[in-house]
Each structure stands twice: as C-alpha cells, then as structure tokens.
C-alpha cells in the first residue's frame, strides 16, 4: 500500500465517490497536426468507481500454438533472414492467421490489441509483395507521428539488404525533407492523415500509384477526427487495390468504414484479454491546490514507481508539470503537440532506455506508443472519455504482466 509512506492520507483503497458518484471530464481539441479540422469532444460524466479495479491474474493461461513457422511462409529468403536476426522464431497469433491471406492478395480486417505483433503481420507480406513486383508501392496511414516512426523503424529492420526505401511523412517534422524524400526512389510511404493530405494537395504525393494501402489503428483515427482525411485519401487510390484494415475495436462506425473501403475482406480477430484486467486501478483523492503536486511527489519517490507515464489534459499543463518535477529532482520528460518531432523522439528515447523515470504526456501525443516495462500510469488529470482512460492505462500491464494505474480525483 502506498499510504503508509505519506505524511498526508490521500490514498484510500475503498471507493465509490466522494460527493456523489461521478466527475465531469472536459475534453479539449482533439487531434495533432491541424486542430481546426478536428472535432470537439464534449464533457463526459465518468463514474469514479470505474477507476477502481483489482487486477486478477489467473494461473490458467491459454497456450497459443501457431499453425506456421516463419520459414513456412512463401516469402523471400532475405526477409526470413531479417526476421531471424530480430530474434523471432514463431509468429504471434495475428501474424500466424493474417500473413497467409495477405500473401494471396486478400483484403483483410484485423482486430487486435496494440503490442500483438500486427505491424509485422502486414509489413512482412507487403515487403515480399514489393520485392516480387517492381511496380508495387505501399501506403501506410496511422493516427500519430510516434506510431508512424515506429513502423518505419520496423520496416527498415524487416527489409535490410533488400534496397527498399521508405518515406515517413508526419506533422511536426520538416516538410521540405519529406518532399525531397518523395522525389527520390521509394516504395513505402508511412504517414499521418493531416500531413499526407498536405502533400497530396501540394501535388508531391500521387496516390494513384499505390495499389496497396494499410489503415492501422483505424479506431484511433476515427476518434481523433481523421475520417474526412481518410475518405479524401481513399478516394484518390486506385479502385483495384489491396486494402488492409487494423483496429483494436469493432464498433458500428468501424463496420461502416470496412464496408466503404474494403472488398470481400477476410476478418481475423485475435483480441486477447482486455489489458485493463491486468491493471490494478485505484483513485488518489486530493484537495485542489498544492497538495496534488505534493501527493504526486510522494508517490514518485517510492521504489516501485520505476517507470511512470503521467497523463495531463493540456499541452501547457503537461509541459509545466514536467518542468516542476525536474526542479524537484526527478528525471522527467514530456511529449505534447507543441514539441517538434526531434524533441519528442529524444524524450521518448530517454524514457524507453530508462534514462528518464517519468514521461508526462497528453492523450494525443501518447497514442500508439508501445513502450515496455511501464510500472505505473498516473492520470494526473481525469481523461475526457472512458475510452481515453482505457487507452491510457493500457500502456502498463502489457504482455501478460501486471500493471498499476492511479487516477487523481480532486475535491474541495
């Protein structure tokens, strides 16, 4: 229990609400590159009891036995060599079930959690496709800059010694360099909707030459207001195309998009247990004012808080909190929409490499992050929606491990 180390008594394990049963969460402008085009989130009343849950990890674990080995797939030997160099021997469930369908050219809908190997599930067969056909090009559309960069890094590892080149097109980075990259030979373009649309309108990116397209984390793109941009791009792709669609959820809106964008797709769902079930969740009740920061300090000095992701509501609040924590002696970094891409990547790198104990982030900046070993997620500000809450706490308790999430609830 955390309480025993406090001079105050901010943390209680029992729980329903302090005054009534819910708190109003106010959503701000959502989206990254071009906020004016993103939709405005309304406040949503979230029952505080939803922030409290004891993780129960049972001893019984379903053991997945793949039908294939990577060597079984009909892919180029160099790709198999690169897969082995990454230390992969057996496919994950999404890879095992998806790769054969993509290799035969079928449209695919993949429903899978982040961190299940879905990037490899589409990159491996698409690299093989490009190696086999010199006229083939691939467009990969994702919701955030960080996810685009992660996919581009994985692409480089899977395609070593194949002479395949890619261009990563995201907001917050130098567009001139991206334009230069698009003018050089390349076979993959990976980007976020806002920046891709800018490049199309500048007539430096012609989607007519892309016969394969991946929409990754489509539910997040929908949440962030990117639907108009997605439709803008899909309308400019060839009608005869190979479309791969990945999402963590299957809502009515997602089903509508699948019917709109894909043709007779193969649907594959390998969603594992809801990550939230692996996460101990509780609230920290604090009075408004300086006490909130002091309570956070008291938590962060405890040894078990070894790698902590803190969520704040606004860019200014996140940056300010990060600076205050540094002044108090913590190794803290921040990521938010006002930071340029190089500073965001530096902050992420320090956190990933355990050279920073704390990363303070806004919801949008943290979408798509796959960082191992996060011990705690702290909601310093209550999220705008319960879906945002689930996404936040899903950054811990990954790969079957147990995680912890704390939500600060203020009262007078």
Boundaries of every domain in the chain: 3-58+274-411, 70-269
Classify residue 63 as exposed, middle or buried by CB count within 10 Å of its CB (0-12, 13-18, 19+): exposed
Look at residue 289 in the predicted model and tell me its pLDDT: 67
* Cβ atoms within 10 Å of 245's Cβ, excluding its own: 22
d(CA 244, CA 108): 5
The pair of structure tokens assigned to 8 is 């105050």
Look at residue 45 in the predicted model and tell me its pLDDT: 62
Q: Look-up: residue for tokens 């962060």?
A: 300
Residues of the chain with pLDDT under 70: 1-45, 47-64, 114, 271-277, 289-290, 365-368, 399-400, 412
Look at residue 6 in the predicted model and tell me its pLDDT: 40
Strand 376-379 versus strand 308-311 pairing type: parallel
Name the region of 206 (left: φ>0; alpha: ψ -120 to 50; beta: rest).
beta
The closest of 196, 95, 99 to 139, measured between CA atoms, is 196
Asked if residue 395 lies in contact with residue 368, where contact means CB atoms within 8 angstroms, the answer is no
Measured N-to-C along each axis, helices 145-158 and 341-352 cross at an angle, to the nearest 10 degrees, of 70
Contacts (Cβ under 8 Å, ≥6 apart) of 214: 122, 126, 138, 139, 140, 141, 244, 245, 246
The pair of structure tokens assigned to 58 is 């049972």
Measured N-to-C along each axis, helices 175-183 and 193-201 cross at an angle, to the nearest 10 degrees, of 60
Look at residue 410 in the predicted model and tell me its pLDDT: 82
Which uninterrupted H or E stretch holds 403?
strand 403-411
The pair of structure tokens assigned to 165 is 């080149």
Look at residue 102 in the predicted model and tell me its pLDDT: 97
Tell me whether domains 3-58+274-411 and 70-269 share a fold: yes
d(CA 382, CA 386): 9
Q: Look-up: residue for tokens 């030979």?
A: 185
CATH 3.30.70.2390 fits 70-269, yes or no: no
d(CA 280, CA 301): 19
Classify residue 165 as exposed, middle or buried by CB count within 10 Å of its CB (0-12, 13-18, 19+): middle
Look at residue 24 in the predicted model and tell me its pLDDT: 45
CATH 3.40.50.300 fits 3-58+274-411, yes or no: yes
Q: Where are the beta strands (DSSP E) in 195-349?
A: 212-215, 242-247, 266-269, 279-287, 308-311, 332-335
Look at residue 377 in the predicted model and tell me its pLDDT: 93
pLDDT in tens, 41-68: 444 567 666 666 665 443 333 456 778 8
Asked if residue 193 lies in contact with residue 169, where contact means CB atoms within 8 angstroms, the answer is no
Look at residue 367 in the predicted model and tell me its pLDDT: 65
Q: Look-up: residue for tokens 């939709």?
A: 39
d(CA 312, CA 198): 29
d(CA 80, CA 158): 9
């Amino acid at each position: 229990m955390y309480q025993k180390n406090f001079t105050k008594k901010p943390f209680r394990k029992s729980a329903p609400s302090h005054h009534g049963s819910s708190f109003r969460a106010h959503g701000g402008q959502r989206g990254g590159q071009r906020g004016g085009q993103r939709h405005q989130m309304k406040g949503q009343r979230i029952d505080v009891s939803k922030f409290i849950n004891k993780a129960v990890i049972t001893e019984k674990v379903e053991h997945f036995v793949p039908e294939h080995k990577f060597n079984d797939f009909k892919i180029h030997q160099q790709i198999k060599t690169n897969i082995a160099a990454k230390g992969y021997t057996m496919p994950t469930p999404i890879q095992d079930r998806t790769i054969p369908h993509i290799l035969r050219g079928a449209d695919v809908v993949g429903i899978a959690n982040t961190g299940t190997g879905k990037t490899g599930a589409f990159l491996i067969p698409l690299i093989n496709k490009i190696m086999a056909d010199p006229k083939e090009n691939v467009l990969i559309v994702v919701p955030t800059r960080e996810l685009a960069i992660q996919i581009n890094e994985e692409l480089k590892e899977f395609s070593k010694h194949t002479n395949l080149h890619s261009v990563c097109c995201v907001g917050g980075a130098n567009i001139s360099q991206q334009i230069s990259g698009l003018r050089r030979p390349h076979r993959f373009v990976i980007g976020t909707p806002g920046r891709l649309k800018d490049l199309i309108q500048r007539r430096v990116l012609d989607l007519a030459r892309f016969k394969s397209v991946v929409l990754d984390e489509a539910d997040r793109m929908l949440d962030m207001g990117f639907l108009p941009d997605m439709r803008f791009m899909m309308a400019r792709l060839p009608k005869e195309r190979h479309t791969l669609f990945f999402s963590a959820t299957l809502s009515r809106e997602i089903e509508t998009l699948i019917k709109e964008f894909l043709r007779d797709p193969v649907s594959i769902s390998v969603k594992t247990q809801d990550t939230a079930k692996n996460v101990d969740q509780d609230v920290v009740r604090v009075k408004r004012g300086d006490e909130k920061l002091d309570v956070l300090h008291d938590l962060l000095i405890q040894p078990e808080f070894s790698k902590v992701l803190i969520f704040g509501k606004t860019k200014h609040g996140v940056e300010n909190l990060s600076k205050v924590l540094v002044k108090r002696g913590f190794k803290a970094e921040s990521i938010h929409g006002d930071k340029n891409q190089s500073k965001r990547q530096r902050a992420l790198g320090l956190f990933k490499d355990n050279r920073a104990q704390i990363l303070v982030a806004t919801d949008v900046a943290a979408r798509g992050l796959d960082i191992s070993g996060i011990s705690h997620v702290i909601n310093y500000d209550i999220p705008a929606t319960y879906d945002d809450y689930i996404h936040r706490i899903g950054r811990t308790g990954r790969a079957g491990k147990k995680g912890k999430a704390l939500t600060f609830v203020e009262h007078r």
